[in-house]
C-alpha cells in the first residue's frame, strides 16, 4: 500500500461482502476507514448509515467526513431473471443504486479527492464488459460504471480511477435481489468457480 492511500477512505457497501473485506484490510494498513452502508454496523471502524440514492444525504455525509484520500464504491443490488418478466421498476432500482448511487458519491467526493490527488476504486464486474444472462439490469448498471468512471479517469489527471471486475463472488447479493423470476428461471447461475470475497 502506498503512502498516497494512507489517509481517510470512504467505503460504500461496507457492511458485508467485498466492501467489508476491503474496509478491514485498509484499516489494518493504517487508514482511517469510514464504513458506509444502509445500516451502520461496521464494528471497529467509523460506521455511518448512508443511502447512496439520496443525493442530499450523500453530500452531507461526505462534507462531514472531510476531504478524502480514497473512495471505494462497493455497494450494489441485482435482479434475477430474463429481461421478459423483469419489471421496469426493478431495473430502475438496480441502475439507481449501482450506477447513479456511485455517481452521486463520487460527485460529492471529487473536490476533496482532486485536492489530495486521491484514488477511486470501483467494484464493477465481468458483467461490466460482457453480457450476463438473466441479469440484464445488473449488467447495464455495471456497463454504465465503466463508461462514467473511465471517462472521469481520462479527464481528471489529479484522481486515479481503478475499475475492479471480479467474476462470480460469494457476497450474498443474490439473496437481496430486487426481482426474482418465478418458476426458477431466475436462479443464480454461474460460470466457473465462485470466488470468496476474502
Catalytic residue positions, numbered: 138
Q: In terms of Cα–Cα distance, which of 127, 122, 98 is closest to 190?
A: 127
Amino acid at each position: 500500500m502506498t503512502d498516497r492511500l494512507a489517509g481517510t477512505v470512504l467505503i460504500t457497501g461496507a457492511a458485508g461482502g467485498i466492501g467489508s473485506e476491503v474496509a478491514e484490510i485498509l484499516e489494518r494498513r493504517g487508514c482511517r476507514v469510514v464504513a458506509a452502508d444502509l445500516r451502520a454496523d461496521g464494528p471497529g471502524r467509523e460506521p455511518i448509515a448512508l443511502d447512496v440514492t439520496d443525493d442530499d444525504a450523500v453530500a452531507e455525509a461526505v462534507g462531514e467526513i472531510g476531504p478524502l484520500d480514497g473512495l471505494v464504491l462497493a455497494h450494489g443490488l441485482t435482479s434475477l431473471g430474463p429481461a421478459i418478466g423483469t419489471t421496469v421498476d426493478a431495473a430502475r432500482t438496480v441502475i439507481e443504486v449501482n450506477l447513479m448511487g456511485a455517481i452521486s458519491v463520487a460527485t460529492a467526493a471529487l473536490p476533496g479527492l482532486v485536492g489530495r490527488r486521491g484514488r477511486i476504486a470501483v467494484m464493477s464486474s465481468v458483467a461490466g464488459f460482457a453480457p450476463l444472462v438473466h441479469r440484464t439490469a445488473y449488467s447495464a448498471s455495471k456497463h454504465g460504471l465503466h463508461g462514467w468512471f473511465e471517462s472521469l479517469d481520462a479527464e481528471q489527471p489529479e484522481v486515479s480511477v481503478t475499475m475492479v471486475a471480479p467474476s462470480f463472488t460469494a457476497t450474498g447479493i443474490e439473496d437481496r435481489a430486487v426481482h426474482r423470476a418465478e418458476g426458477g428461471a431466475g436462479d443464480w447461475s454461474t460460470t466457473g468457480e465462485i470466488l470468496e470475497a476474502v
